[in-house]
Amino acid sequence: MDPVHRVPWRSVSQVGELSAREKQQELQLAELQARLDYVFKQPALLHEALVHGSALDGARHRRSYDRLEFLGDRVLGLIVAERLLREHAGDEEGDLAPRLNALVNKHACASAARKAGLGEALVLSPSEEASGGRGKAAILGDACESVIGALFLDGGLEAARGFVTRFWADAFDGARTVARDAKTALQEWAAARKKGLSYVLVEQTGPEHAPRFVIEARIDGFTPTRGEGASKREAQRAAAAAFLEERGVHG
């Protein structure tokens, strides 16, 4: 793919007409494209993918990254599921689900966002920036999914897959060793440290015939991790796997 400097974001004369703040944003977007090794054919998609809701002012921005985040979440799940099926051809669904949940969650997305330097290019309100918004895991995780959505719309599945392949490399390596019975592994890990472990139902959605559960694994003194599944047991396993993966512990 052609490097960014061969496809300028704007002409030199156009950049000269911009305000100092706009110039900085243009340069940040160009630098981000260089880090992504991808030049957007529709630059407006990348810009939208980086606009946090706090920056909406009714004049410059018509929407935040929420819509692209919605799309990117689904695209990420597809890319990861496809790769897991290919790399773990002998595994059943019960083995694949914990790996998927260890890879497709806000923690993993925030980690990828930091590697890609997305925080530097985010468009935030002054108050959100002052409160450290560029480094917040929740915002970075959302922005990561929105960028994946933008890549998908601009360059198709291959463009999105390139991003995931590059910035999830370490996470995929770790997922190869995620054990099926992550709950047992986490119980042993917590017991060895004399820490209490509990699973708390956070959310239940969907119809009765196809429910979805979100459950947090909570250990005294540690940040909870969430897992999602079609049953409470599956969601608990996913939450346990996410906790183990986050701390580099493998069952």
Domain stops at, among 175, 192, 209: 175
Domain stops at, among 133, 151, 175: 175
Which residue bears the tokens 């695209």?
A: 75
The rounded distance, in Å, linking the Cα atoms of 192 and 243 is 15
Tell me, yes or no, if 145 is annotated catalytic.
Answer: yes
Same domain, 133 and 222: no
- Least confident piece of the model among 4-13, 22-31, 38-47, 204-213: 4-13
> Is 88 inside any structural domain?
no
The rounded distance, in Å, linking the Cα atoms of 211 and 228 is 11
Q: CA-CA-CA-CA torsion for 153, 156, 162, 168, nearest 10 degrees? A: 60
CATH number of the domain where residue 226 is located: 3.30.160.20
What was the pLDDT predicted at 210?
Answer: 83
- pLDDT tens-digit profile of 13-39? 444 555 676 778 888 899 999 999 999
* Number of domains the chain is built from: 2
**Full domain range(s) for residue 145:** 4-67+104-175
The rounded distance, in Å, linking the Cα atoms of 151 and 145 is 10
What was the pLDDT predicted at 246?
Answer: 81
7: Cβ contacts below 8 Å, ≥ 6 apart: 39
Pairing outcome for strands 212-219 and 197-205: antiparallel
Domain stops at, among 175, 206, 236: 175
CB 149 within 8 Å of CB 68: yes
Average pLDDT over residues 87-93: 81
Average pLDDT over residues 83-108: 83
What was the pLDDT predicted at 54?
Answer: 86
Same domain, 109 and 168: yes
> Is 90 inside any structural domain?
no
> Is 93 inside any structural domain?
no
Q: Is the pLDDT of residue 4 over 80?
A: no
Same domain, 205 and 160: no
- Least confident piece of the model among 11-15, 106-110, 119-123: 11-15
Catalytic residue, from 26, 48, 128, 145: name it.
145
- pLDDT tens-digit profile of 138-161? 899 999 999 999 999 999 999 999
Give 5's pLDDT tier (boundaries 50, 70, 90).
very low
Q: Is the pLDDT of residue 168 over 50?
A: yes
What's the longest Cα–Cα distance across the chain?
A: 65
Same domain, 117 and 230: no
Give 241's pLDDT tier (boundaries 50, 70, 90).
confident
Best CA proximity match to 103, nearest among 117, 88, 90: 88
What was the pLDDT predicted at 176?
Answer: 67
Catalytic residue, from 26, 48, 69, 73: name it.
73
